[in-house]
Structure 1
Amino acid sequence: MFSFTEIIRINCTVKMSNYGPAKRILNLDKIMWVEFAKLATETKAVNLGPGIPDIAPPDHVVEALKYATAHDNPYMNQATRAFGHPRLINAIAALYGNIQNRTIEPTKEILVTIGAYGSLFNSIMGLVNPGDEVIIIEPFFDCYKPMVLLAGGVPKYIPLKPKENAKSAQNWILDQIEFSALFTDKTKMIILNNPHNPIGKVFTKDELTMIAGLCKKHDVICISDEVYEWMIYTGNKHERIASLPGMWERTITISSAGKIFCATGWKLGWAIGPENLMEGLRVVNHHSVCSCPTPLQEAIAVGLEMELARFDQPDCYLTSLAEEMEKKRDKICLVLKEIGLEPIVPDGGYFVLADVSKINIDFDDGTSDKRDYKFVRWLTKNVGVATIPTSSFFSDDHKYIGEKYIRICFVREESTLDKGLELLKTLNKSDK
């Protein structure tokens, strides 16, 4: 195991073509996103893989960005406060303070970062010491593991497991006995993703209370990745673990402006938490990216202010987008059922898992990769629809759980989604 400092030293003292231990931790050649993005581009497939919307951000946010960069507003084109543009941190404090029914100190308890990615990196690098154990709930977004390794931490995995014949995200269960057994005197942190990517599970209050109880019992920090917080569908409620008794003091909550406003290319996120924990994040952020783009922060601030002003109203984008996405979810799940790819109906987020275990097609490509990798390659090349293999979100020991599923993203314009679904329907003709 190598600490972050040791990895930097290795990179600086050996040839980049042969930097051994560092490459084993950060092997760009093996990153799943690189392979399948390239394949989708080469085949000109309808890309329903990555969580990158082809939907435009709301007009009021775009107009706010235009105004922020106008010539009569020169200061917006200069660097702003390192830990977050004043207007933005005040807007974040107002919105989330209202949601959590608490006063959030904007200058001490909020950090604006380069995307939620930046918040995750700052949290892990700022709070994990070499040898600390970090519990990761599987499946997990694939940056969690390398970030923990970069910090010198030791990842420990606990999988959500589907019930037999699972048909919804709520059918994926966290075993309390297995989960409890992972905690040791070396456990420093748990990473929770709620709503969950890729399953679409929205953790219930009872589940979060169980997780919170173990965090408090073992004095563990919780990193709560809540970037899909506003993508909650009918019959479900997003509970925030930081709002549970005794959890504010040990929780970093991470959000994403890109996910909220369908502007992932703006790369703005933020972390919210108690001052003593946030200090570690601030140190890492200051000595890496220092500050985030000022006009983007100004525009997002305007957007959040407007949403807070019409919170819970029909024209509030925070809720109206979820209503639009729920219709897309229902449409794609209906088609998947028709063609024999049984969906795991998500309760939140904008991904759906499709069970491909019953597809009777020879898609073996001669590699030793998992079944879902082979199927995604075949689907992209032969059907013209790009998706993502779900086993890529699991540790090696638990990839078998994910290899019967592919992940499909539905945050797409109707034309894109309809084209992809029409192509998928041709599987009925291929599956003979």
Structure 2
Amino acid sequence: WQPTHLFADWFLDPDELAGKFNSKTKAIIINTPNNPIGKVFTKDELQMIADLCIKHDTLCFSDEVYEWLVYRGHQHVKIATLPGMWDRTVTIGSAGKTFSVTGWKLGWSIGPEHLMKHLQTVMQNSLYTCPTPLQEAVAQGLLLNYELMDQPECYFTSLADELEGKRDRLAAIVEEAGMTPVIPEGGYFMLVDVTALNQDLSHMDEDEAYDYKFVKWMIKEKKLAAIPVTAFVGEESTKDFEKYIRLCFIKQDGTLDAARSILKSWTKV
């Protein structure tokens, strides 16, 4: 057995990205650490985006809900901290992702007053309620962990350390089963290339992308759940991504053990 894996060090092509901006471009949405790839944008990449935003007078909405889940060798940089970007950037955070309480459905946006006032108007007319006790709990959690920042007791630090171990374990499991993981730099999802399994799905709906068919087949036949990656891309990119599925590794060890057992028995068939 020879382990094989890829890395989530994919990058934006500078010329292609620049070609997407013109006088009609109003805003760009970025996501770092990225879901589903797990890529953490470097400062140089963010500077390239910032330069284009400034050149074309474009707003930036920066989805940074996984900002604390960044693994060794990588660093999260907020694009709003780059020169000229604060006044044109709205940064989005998530209590669900930060504190593993996704059922609370709480988040926040940070930005200049002239942008935030419009978000407040939208929120006032689109949300019925946000539970005050949960908001207070999130605020206290943030205050406490900012005081503990970079210490072992800090939840942000301890969770990232724990998940890095789970990431590496899941990567070893899927490699052992003959699949190729894309090692994420941040977040808690992992892309897996299932090409090597060569699973025949010709009996299923021909109009669906291969990853959709593979995931449905795997849930029904193997009792193992995943997400089809083409759910995240446009039609023009389907062929490039339908060989991947997305697995989640923010799981109890017993769940990872069960996944390993399923994959081991699968490869023996």
Report the TM-score, using the length of structure 1 for normalisation. 0.60
Give the equivalent residue in structure 1 for 2:106: 268
**Residue 362 of structure 1 pairs with residue 197 of structure 2:** no
Q: How many Å apart are 1:426 and its aligned residue?
A: 2.5
Deviation sequence 1:161-216 (CA, Å, 0-9, x none):
xxxx981001x121111111111111001000000000000001111110111011
Of 306, 322, 344, the match for 2:144: 306
Contact 2:5–2:175 (8 Å) recurs in 1: no
| SS of the residue 2:123 aligns to | helix
Following superposition, which runs of at least 4 residues in structure 1 exceed 6 angstroms of deviation?
none
Of 64, 68, 71, the match for 1:230: 68
| Distance in 2, Cα, partners of 1:167 & 1:327 | 17
Highest RCO, 1 vs 2 (Cα 8 Å, sep ≥ 6) = 1
**Residue 297 of structure 1 pairs with residue 135 of structure 2:** yes
Q: How many Å apart are 1:392 and its aligned residue?
A: 1.0
Gaps of 5+ in 2: none
| SS of the residue 2:119 aligns to | helix
Of 218, 240, 248, the match for 2:56: 218
| Distance in 2, Cα, partners of 1:288 & 1:382 | 41
Q: How many Å apart are 1:297 and its aligned residue?
A: 0.6
Give the equivalent residue in structure 1 for 2:247: 408
**Amino acid across the alignment from 1:414:** D
Give the equivalent residue in structure 2 for 1:192: 30
What is the CA RMSD across the aligned residues, in angstroms?
1.3
Q: How does 1:366-385 map to 2 (within 5 A)?
A: 366-385=205-224
| Distance in 2, Cα, partners of 1:288 & 1:232 | 32
Q: How many Å apart are 1:316 and its aligned residue?
A: 0.2
**Amino acid across the alignment from 2:191:** L
| Distance in 2, Cα, partners of 1:282 & 1:366 | 44
Of 37, 46, 61, the match for 1:208: 46
Identical residues among aligned pairs (%) = 52
| Distance in 1, Cα, partners of 2:263 & 2:89 | 42
Q: How does 1:95-106 map to 2 (within 5 A)?
A: none
**Amino acid across the alignment from 1:330:** D
Deviation sequence 1:102-157 (CA, Å, 0-9, x none):
xxxxxxxxxxxxxxxxxxxxxxxxxxxxxxxxxxxxxxxxxxxxxxxxxxxxxxxx
Of 288, 300, 303, the match for 2:126: 288
| Distance in 1, Cα, partners of 2:94 & 2:173 | 30
Gaps of 5+ in 1: 1-164
Deviation sequence 1:220-269 (CA, Å, 0-9, x none):
00000000000000111001111111111110000000111110001100
Contact 1:383–1:426 (8 Å) recurs in 2: no
| SS of the residue 2:164 aligns to | helix
| Distance in 2, Cα, partners of 1:213 & 1:290 | 38
**Residue 254 of structure 1 pairs with residue 85 of structure 2:** no
